């Protein structure tokens, strides 16, 4: 860089800041040199595809492609994804760099019974449990999360932690470029995912598809998407597939009618018009508008999401209703539906 603070092209530094396909002019550009570089050095947004539970959620798949600022924090990305997928931000979440050698096992069989959530298994239920902590497989190379004690699925946090995983406990302390390009973790992350709701395991696979050379304002923008957003409260990916089948049935059974009524009247992000003929509907302009509102004022995020009244009590079984006077009648009905309907967890 010249004395004037302008970036110059040299033999030693062939990657000038204006090139949309490379790094900023130097590692210090994003930190110590940023005050003098920011008027010249502009790195374009990532174009990232987020595919929800690929291979399980099909016909149609649920995909969102966003233009994401490289300097956004992982906490800001979380908020953008909550809007893009119309989640309600009432469950725990994290970003993982999955180990390509040792994938994490599914915990669904352990934590969901036929009538809803059951007790959390001890760690030695893992099929490859060893006596010493050092021998526990490292399912995640790195993990970025916030401590969210008090959320209904927080008790599952212990099952997501392995002793040898690199853990960062504040999403706002990690930039998106740090997690994707791994200068923070000092090793390549082959497979990155955003995980929401530890009970139902909504896993969003992240794929960086390129850069958005036209993006210069550092804003989240929805580029494309397909598939109706998933109903929050279903029993994971298979529960969503079952719910779509309910609305497609020519002669729905009593249980299917009950599940449709749950979505139309009780589901935290449901719709009165239901899903019949609408399971492929995606409103890009609405997502774009809500992203813009969220970035204009972070407080706007809470205005675009559900109340979470249904989900907040999801672990209370009907047998405990007599000991929960603080729940109003409407919340009790919601919990009862979620626990006892076979399609929902």
% of residues, the chain, pLDDT over 70: 57
Query: How much is the average pLDDT of 19-24?
Result: 42
Q: What is the per-residue burial (b if ≥16 Cβ within 10 Å, else e) of 197-213?
A: bbbbbbbbbbeeeebbe
Q: Provide the residue ranges of all domains of the chain, joining segments of one domain with +.
A: 1-43, 45-226, 236-340
Rounded-to-integer distance, Cα 78 and Cα 154, Å:
17
- The answer to whether the CB of 71 falls within 8 A of the CB of 42 is no
Q: Which of 23-32, 50-59, 197-206 has the lowest mean pLDDT?
A: 23-32
pLDDT value at position 235?
85
Question: Exposed, middle or buried: residue 122 (CB in 10 Å: 0-12, 13-18, 19+)?
Answer: exposed
Architecture label for domain 45-226: Roll (3.10)
pTM of the model: 0.71
pLDDT value at position 265?
94
Identify the residue with better confidence: 200 or 101: 200
pLDDT in tens, 210-224: 888 776 567 899 999
Please, what is the average pLDDT of the chain?
71
Bond preceding residue 225 cis, omega within 30 of 0: no
Rounded-to-integer distance, Cα 258 and Cα 222, Å:
34
Query: How much is the average pLDDT of 149-156?
Result: 73
- The answer to whether the CB of 128 falls within 8 A of the CB of 84 is no
Task: Find, among 189, 183, 203, 194, the residue nearest to 100 by Cα.
Answer: 189
pLDDT in tens, 241-285: 999 999 999 999 999 999 999 999 999 999 999 999 999 999 999
Q: Is the pLDDT of residue 128 over 60?
A: no
The neighbouring-strand residues paired with 68 are 46
Identify the residue with better confidence: 43 or 131: 43
């Amino acid at each position: 860089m010249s004395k004037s603070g302008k970036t110059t092209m040299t033999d030693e530094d062939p990657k000038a800041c204006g090139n949309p396909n490379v790094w900023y002019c130097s590692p210090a550009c994003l930190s110590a040199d940023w005050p003098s570089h920011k008027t010249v050095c502009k790195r374009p947004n990532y174009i990232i595809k987020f595919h929800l539970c690929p291979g399980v959620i099909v016909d149609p798949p649920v995909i969102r492609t966003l233009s994401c600022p490289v300097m956004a924090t992982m906490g800001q990305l979380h908020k953008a994804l909550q809007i893009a997928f119309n989640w309600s931000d009432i469950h725990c979440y994290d970003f993982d760099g999955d180990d390509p050698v040792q994938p994490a096992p599914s915990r669904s069989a352990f934590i969901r019974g036929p009538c809803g959530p059951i007790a959390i298994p001890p760690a030695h239920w893992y099929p490859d449990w060893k006596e010493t902590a050092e021998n526990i497989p490292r399912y995640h190379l790195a993990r970025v999360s916030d401590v969210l004690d008090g959320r209904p699925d927080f008790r599952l946090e212990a099952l997501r932690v392995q002793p040898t995983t690199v853990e960062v406990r504040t999403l706002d302390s990690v930039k998106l470029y740090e997690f994707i390009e791994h200068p923070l973790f000092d090793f390549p992350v082959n497979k990155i995912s955003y995980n929401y709701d530890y009970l139902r395991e909504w896993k969003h696979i992240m794929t960086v598809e390129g850069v958005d050379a036209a993006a210069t304002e550092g804003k989240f923008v929805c580029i494309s998407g397909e598939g109706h957003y998933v109903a929050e409260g279903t029993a994971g990916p298979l529960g969503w597939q079952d719910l779509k089948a309910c609305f497609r049935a020519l002669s729905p059974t009593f249980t299917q009618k009950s599940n449709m009524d749950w979505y139309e009247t009780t589901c935290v992000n449901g719709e009165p018009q239901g899903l019949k003929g609408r399971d492929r509907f995606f409103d890009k302009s609405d997502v774009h508008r809500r992203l813009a509102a969220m970035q204009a004022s972070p407080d706007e995020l809470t205005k675009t999401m559900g109340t979470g009244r249904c989900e907040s009590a999801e672990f209370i079984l009907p047998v405990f209703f007599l000991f929960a006077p603080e729940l109003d009648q409407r919340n009790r009905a919601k919990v009862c539906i979620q626990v006892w309907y076979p399609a929902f967890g």
